C-alpha cells in the first residue's frame, strides 16, 4: 500500500520536469531568433508572398548590418546576375574581393563570381583579367574554360590553342575537333593575306589535331586548286569519302568545278551519282541535277530526279523533277503552276539547323552563331514539316 502512494507522487514530478525542459528549449530558440535581424524575417516573408524586389531590399539590409553573412552576399550576387542587374552583382562581388577579412578560398570564389558578372555584361577584357588571377585553387579549371570562351569570342585563335592545351593538362577531356577549327580559322586568315605556306602549316596542324576534319581537308583542297593543282585538290576533297562522308555535300560543288577545269565532266557526274547512291541528300541531288541539265540536257536530268524521287521522296526532289518536266514539255500550264507552288514552298522551308540549340540558317556555318558550338549544324538542309 505504502509503495503505491509514493509511486503516484512521482508521476506529476515527471510532468513538471518535462514542462521545465520544454520551457528551457523555447527560451533558447527565442534568444537565437532575437539574434537574427528582423529584416531577415521580413525578407523571408516577402519571398513567401512572391515579392522578390522587396525581399532583395530586406536581405540587402541584413547584409549591410551583418558583414559576416557571406553566403547571403553570394546568394544576392548570383540572384542579381540571373536577373540581369549586373551592376549590382558586380558591386557586391567587388566589395567581397576587396575585403581584407576573407580567407583565400572565399576571395577566390568572389573573384570567380565577379569574372562571371563581367563576362555576362560583355566586359570581356575585365572578365579575362579576373579569370587569369585564378590560376590556382578549385576555380582554376572553370576560370580557364571561361578564358577559352572569351578567346574564341574575340577570335584570338593562337591564344585559344594554348589555353586548350593547358585545359587538357589540368585533366579536362581533349577537344581536338574544336582545336582543329582554331587552326582552320588561322589558315583562312593567312589565305586572305596570300601567305600560302603558313596556310598549309596551319592546315597540317589542324589535321594533326583531327585527321577527319572536313573543314581542314576542304581548305587544303582549296589551297591546291588556287595554286592550279586541280588533281591534288580533288585528291584532298575525296579523302572525305572514307574519313567523313557526311561532309561530301560541302565539297561536291568544288569537285564538279575542278573536274570541269580538267575537262572531265562525265567523271564528276558519275562520282556524284555514286555519292547519292550512298546517302540520300536533296542538296547533292540538286547540284547533280543542275550539272546534268547543263551538260547532258533536260531529259537525263528529269530521269535522275524521277529515280531519286522514287527512292527518297522530298519536296526538293519534286521541285527538280517538275522543273525538268516543264523544260521537256513547256506547253503544260498545270506543270508550271505546280512547279511555282512547290518551288516557293521549298525556298521558304529548307534551312540548315543546329542540332544543339535549334538555330536555323540559310547558309552553312561551321560554328553555330547562336550557341557557338562547332559542327553542331548538319551539312545538309532540312525541310520544315
Give contact residues for Zn ion (rule: CB under 5 A). 354, 356-357, 359, 368, 370-371
Q: Which residues contact 161 (CB under 8 A, 6 or more apart)?
A: 179, 182, 183
Shortest CB 376 distance to Zn ion, Å: 5
Shortest CB 214 distance to Zn ion, Å: 18
The residue to which cell 582554331 is assigned: 182
For the four alpha carbons of 291, 296, 302 and 307, in that order, the dihedral sign comes to negative
Sheet hosting strand 350-353, strand order edge to edge: 360-361, 350-353, 382-383
In terms of phi and psi (left: phi > 0; alpha: psi -120 to 50; beta: otherwise), the region of 281 is: beta
371 is written with which cell numbers? 550557341
Comparing CA positions, the residue from 225, 219, 270, 217 lying closest to residue 246 is: 217
- Indicate the residue among 102 and 370 with the shorter CB distance to Zn ion: 370
Shortest CB 370 distance to Zn ion, Å: 5
Pairwise CA distance, residues 338 & 317, whole Å: 13
Shortest CB 89 distance to Zn ion, Å: 26
230 is written with which cell numbers? 586541280
Shortest CB 246 distance to Zn ion, Å: 17
330 is written with which cell numbers? 513547256
Shortest CB 373 distance to Zn ion, Å: 5
Count of Cβ atoms closer than 10 Å to residue 110 Cβ: 23
Shortest CB 353 distance to Zn ion, Å: 9
Shortest CB 357 distance to Zn ion, Å: 3
Angle made by CA atoms 133, 134, 138, in degrees to the nearest 5? 170
Helices (H), the chain: 2-35, 38-48, 52-65, 70-82, 86-98, 104-121, 124-132, 140-153, 157-169, 176-193, 196-209, 214-226, 230-238, 240-243, 248-261, 265-278, 282-296, 298-311, 315-328, 333-349
Shortest CB 366 distance to Zn ion, Å: 12
Pairwise CA distance, residues 181 & 213, whole Å: 8
Q: Which residues contact 283 (CB under 8 A, 6 or more apart)?
A: 249, 316, 380, 381
Amino acid at each position: 500500500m505504502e509503495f503505491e502512494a509514493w509511486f503516484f507522487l512521482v508521476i506529476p514530478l515527471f510532468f513538471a520536469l518535462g514542462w521545465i525542459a520544454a520551457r528551457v528549449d523555447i527560451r533558447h530558440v527565442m534568444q537565437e531568433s532575437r539574434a537574427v535581424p528582423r529584416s531577415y524575417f521580413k525578407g523571408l516573408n516577402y519571398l513567401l508572398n512572391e515579392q522578390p524586389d522587396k525581399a532583395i531590399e530586406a536581405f540587402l539590409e541584413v547584409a549591410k548590418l551583418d558583414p559576416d553573412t557571406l553566403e547571403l552576399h553570394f546568394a544576392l550576387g548570383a540572384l542579381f546576375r540571373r536577373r540581369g542587374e549586373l551592376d549590382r552583382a558586380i558591386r557586391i562581388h567587388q566589395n567581397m574581393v576587396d575585403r581584407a577579412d576573407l580567407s583565400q578560398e572565399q576571395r577566390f570564389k568572389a573573384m570567380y563570381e565577379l569574372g562571371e558578372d563581367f563576362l555576362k555584361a560583355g566586359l570581356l577584357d575585365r572578365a579575362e583579367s579576373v579569370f587569369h588571377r585564378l590560376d590556382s585553387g578549385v576555380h582554376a579549371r572553370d576560370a580557364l574554360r571561361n578564358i577559352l570562351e572569351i578567346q574564341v569570342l574575340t577570335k584570338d585563335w593562337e591564344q585559344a590553342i594554348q589555353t586548350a592545351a593547358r585545359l587538357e593538362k589540368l585533366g579536362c577531356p581533349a577537344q581536338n575537333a574544336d582545336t582543329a577549327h582554331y587552326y582552320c580559322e588561322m589558315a583562312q586568315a593567312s589565305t586572305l593575306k596570300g601567305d600560302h605556306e603558313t596556310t598549309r602549316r596551319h592546315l597540317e596542324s589542324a589535321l594533326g589535331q583531327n585527321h577527319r576534319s572536313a573543314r581542314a581537308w576542304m581548305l587544303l583542297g582549296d589551297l591546291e586548286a588556287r595554286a592550279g593543282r586541280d588533281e591534288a585538290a580533288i585528291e584532298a576533297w575525296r579523302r572525305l569519302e572514307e574519313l567523313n562522308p557526311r561532309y561530301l555535300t560541302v565539297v561536291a560543288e568544288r569537285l564538279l568545278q575542278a573536274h570541269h577545269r580538267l575537262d572531265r565532266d562525265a567523271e564528276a557526274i558519275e562520282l556524284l551519282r555514286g555519292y547519292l547512291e550512298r546517302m540520300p541528300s536533296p542538296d547533292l541531288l540538286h547540284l547533280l541535277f543542275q550539272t546534268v541539265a547543263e551538260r547532258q540536257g533536260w531529259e537525263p536530268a528529269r530521269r535522275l530526279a524521277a529515280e531519286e524521287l522514287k527512292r527518297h521522296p522530298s519536296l526538293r526532289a519534286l521541285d527538280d523533277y517538275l522543273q525538268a518536266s516543264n523544260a521537256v514539255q513547256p506547253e503544260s500550264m498545270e506543270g508550271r503552276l505546280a512547279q511555282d507552288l512547290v518551288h516557293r514552298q521549298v525556298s521558304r522551308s529548307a534551312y540548315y539547323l543546329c542540332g544543339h540549340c535549334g538555330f536555323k540558317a540559310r547558309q552553312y556555318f561551321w560554328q553555330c552563331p547562336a550557341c557557338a558550338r562547332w559542327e553542331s549544324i548538319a551539312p545538309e538542309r532540312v525541310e520544315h514539316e
